[in-house]
Amino acid sequence: GLMFNVNPVEAVRDAAKQCEQDLSKFTTDVSLDRKLYDALVSVQTAGMEPIPARFVEHSLRDFRRAGVDKDEATRKRIAEIQARLVELSQDYDKNVNGDVRFIEVEDPKRLEGLPQDWLDNHKPVDGKIKVTTDYPDFFPFETYVKDDELRHTLYQEFSQRAYPANSDVLLEVLKLRKELATLLGYASWADYAIEDKMAKSADTVESFIKEVKQVTEPRTIADLQVLLARKKQDMPDAEHIMAHDRFYYIAVVHKEKFDFDPQSVRPYFAYEKVKQGVLDLYSELFGLEFVKLDMPTWAPGVDAYELKVDGQPAGRFFLDMHPRADKYKHAAAFPIQTGLESGRLGWASLVCNFPDPADGDGQALMEHDDVVTFFHEFGHLVHALIGRKGTFPSLAGFNVEWDFVEAPSQFLEEWAWRPEVLARFATDKDGKAIPAELVQKMRDADEFGKGVQLMRQIFYTAYSFFLHKADPTDLDLDEFTTAMYNKYSPFPRDEKDKVYANFGHLIGYSALYYTYQWSLAISKDLFTRFEKDGVLNKETALEYRHDILEPGGTVDADAMVEKFLGRPRNLDAYKAWISKAPQ
C-alpha cells in the first residue's frame, strides 16, 4: 500500500502495515464466504446489462479461484496462507526499501566521466564521496564512470540489497504459493496466476517466452559482439560483457559509433520542465486538465493535483517523485480509491525516485531514461483515474487483465522519443529547445543495445515464470539463478549477484513478469494507428482514450484493442521493432 511505502514516519508505516494485513484478512474472509457465494450464484444474468452481468461472472470466477467451494478445513488453511503471504510480502519490500548500500570514493579522479551536475551534488565529506544504490546515484554512475572496478563494486552492492534477509522470505513465499495452488487444484502457482489473464495458460506464456527469445537472439548476439570488441580496447583480456558493463559500454558505443553522448541531452531535461511537459501533452492529446492543489501531503516536496476530464472533476492525485529514506525505491502508480462515473472521484499517487530540485543548483537534470519512465508511470496514473465506466470498482481504473495493464503505459513511452513532442518542453537553462537532429541521433543510437536490453528483460520474464513453475521443496535459489543466467541472460552471473533478494516483482507480480513483454507487443501494435494518423493527432488520441482507457475492466482487453485497431492484435509491429538493426 501507499503509506507503507512512502510515509517518512515509522509509526505511520507500521500502522499502514497492520491496516494492509487487516484489509487482506477481510478480503480473504469475503472471498471464502460460502453464503455470499451462494447468493451470487442465484443471480440470473440472462437479460442483464453487459457490465453488471460481467461483474457477476467475474465475481463468481474469483470466488471459485479463491477456494470458496472447498471444505471448511481447506478454506481455513487458505485463509492462513493468504494472511502469511501478506506479512512476507511486506517483509520483502521493507528489507529492500531499508537496505540502501553505498561505496565511498577518496580519489575524485576515479569519477572521471560523470556529469558535472552529478559531481556538484556529491561533495566530499571527510575526504570521501559517498555513492549510494539509490537510482539517482546508481544509474548515472554505472553509465558514465570509466573506472571498471568502481562500477563493478557499486553493481555488486546494488545486486546484494536485502541479502541475506530476503532469501528465507522468498523461499517461504514460494512454498506457500505452491501449497495454495495445490489446494486450489493447479499444478503450479504459474498455472494458477495466469488462468484469468489474456494468456489463459502457463503453456501459452512458455511458448511466448520461447518465441520472443528466438526473435531477439540475433540482435542480442550482434550487440554483444560490438560491445565486447569495444571493451577489449580498454581490457584486452576481457572475455565477456558483464552486467556492470551494460550501461557504460552501450553509452560508449552510442558516442563513438552514433555520435550520441547521453550527457548531451541531460541539460534539456530539468525535472520541473519535464513534469510540466508531461502534464501539457496529456492535456492537449486526451482532453484532460490538471489543477495544482494547495493541500497537506505526507512529506515535503509531494505535490497534489486535481484531474478534470472534459472540464469535469474526475480524480485527484499526488506526485511523490524524489528519493527519501525508507521510501519505495522504484517507480510505480499506487491507486488509492477507484473513481466511478456515478460521481465518485478517483485518487492515486505516482511514486518515483527522480533527481530532486531541492538539491544542488535546483535544475535536477534527468537522464532520458528517467523521462521515458515518467511518461510510462504517468500513463498508469491517468489510466487508473479515467477508467471510470460503470458502477463496480473491481471493473474500473486499471483493473484490466494483468497482462494488458502495462500496454497503455508502454504505449505512452513512444512520445518521449519524438522530436516534435520533446521540443515543446525540453529546453536548456537559456530556454533553447533540444535540437531535432540531437533527438534523431538519440533515436538512432537507441536501436543499438536493444538486443541486450531486451534479452535482459526476457531473463527477468523467464526467471519469474520458471521460479513459480519449479518445486520449491528443495529449491536452491543460487543454483536456480545460475541456471537462468546461463539460459536467458546476455551476461554471465556476477559471483555476488543475488537477484532473488531484491527483484521486487517476484512479490508483486509473482509469475507474471511476462506481462511487460506481452503488453509491449500490444503497445507496439496500438501505436501503428498513430504512426499512420500522426503522433499528435487529437482525434486518434481521443478515440484511444474512449476505446482503451475509459472502459477500465468492463470489456475484455482483446475486444478493446480490436475496436481501436479495427482488427485483431498481432505481433508484427513488435517483431519488426525487435529485428530492426541500427543504421
Distances (CA, A) of 233 to 227, 238, 448, 491: 10, 9, 19, 19
Q: In Å, how far from its chain's centre is CA 100?
A: 20
Residues 460, 84: Cα–Cα separation, whole Å = 25
Q: What is the mean pLDDT of residues 231-254?
A: 98
pLDDT at 361: 83
pLDDT of residue 362: 86
- Are residue 73 and residue 109 in the same domain, yes or no? no
The pLDDT, as a whole number, for residue 305 is: 99
Q: What number is the average pLDDT over the span 187-192?
A: 98
Cis geometry, peptide bond prior to residue 164 (ω within 30 degrees of 0): yes
Report the candidate in 152, 334, 361, 344 with the shortest Cα–Cα distance to residue 272. Answer: 361
In a domain, 59, yes or no: yes
Pairing label, strands 129-132, 102-105: antiparallel
* 53 shares a domain with 182: yes
| Structural contact between residues 249 and 262, judged by C-beta atoms closer than 8 angstroms | no
SS3 409: helix
Whether the pLDDT of residue 360 is over 90: the answer is no
Domain assignment present for 176: yes
Looking at the fold, whether 42 and 172 belong to one and the same domain comes out as yes
Q: What is the pLDDT of residues 28-53, one digit of tens each?
A: 999 999 999 999 999 999 999 999 99
What span, in angstroms and rounded, lies between the C-alpha atoms of 368 and 251? Answer: 12
Same domain membership, residue 179 and residue 107? no
Q: Is the pLDDT of residue 56 over 90?
A: yes
Mind telling me the catalytic residues? 377
pLDDT for the residue 173: 99
Per-residue model confidence as pLDDT tens digits over 378-420: 999 999 999 999 899 999 999 999 999 999 999 999 999 999 9
Note the pLDDT of residue 583. Answer: 80
In the chain, the N- to C-terminal Cα span, in Å, equals 45
Does one domain contain both 85 and 10? yes
Question: Cα angle at 294 between 300 and 431, to 5 degrees?
Answer: 75
Q: How many alpha carbons lie under 13 Å from residue 117 in its C-beta half-sphere?
A: 22
Q: What is the pLDDT of residues 161-172, one digit of tens each?
A: 999 999 999 999
Q: Could you tell me the maximum CA-CA distance found in the chain, to the nearest angstrom?
A: 76
With a pLDDT cut of 70, the percent of the chain lying above it is 100
| In-domain check, residue 381 | no
One DSSP character per residue, 133-146 reads SSHHHHHHHHHH--
In a domain, 342, yes or no: no
Domain that holds residue 147: 100-157
In a domain, 234, yes or no: no
One domain for residues 172 and 48: yes
Spatial separation of the C-alpha atoms in residues 548 and 367, rounded to whole Å: 30
Q: Would you say residue 243 lies in a domain?
A: no
Q: What is the mean pLDDT of residues 147-157?
A: 99
Read off the pLDDT band of 497 (50, 70, 90): very high
- Type of residue numbered 458: I
Same domain membership, residue 61 and residue 9: yes
- Average pLDDT of the chain, as a whole number: 97
Same domain, 168 and 151: no
Give 580's DSSP letter: P
Q: Are residues 69 and 177 located together in one domain of the fold?
A: yes
Flag whether 499 is in a domain: no
Rg (alpha carbons) of the chain, rounded to whole number: 24
Residue 359's pLDDT is: 87
Same domain (yes/no): 110, 25: no
For residues 127 and 13, membership in a common domain is answered with no
State how many domains the chain has. 2
123 and 37 belong to one structural domain: no
Please list the alpha-helical segments (H only) found in 122-245: 135-144, 148-159, 165-183, 189-194, 202-234
Counted residue by residue, the chain has a size of 583
What is the tens place of the pLDDT at every residue in 507-544? 999 999 999 999 999 999 999 999 999 999 999 999 99
Residue-wise pLDDT for 105-130, tens only, equals 999 999 999 999 999 999 999 999 99
The string of DSSP letters for 259-321 reads ---GGGTGGG-BHHHHHHHHHHHHHHHHTEEEEEE----SSTT-EEEEEEETTEEEEEEEEE-
Domain contains 510: no
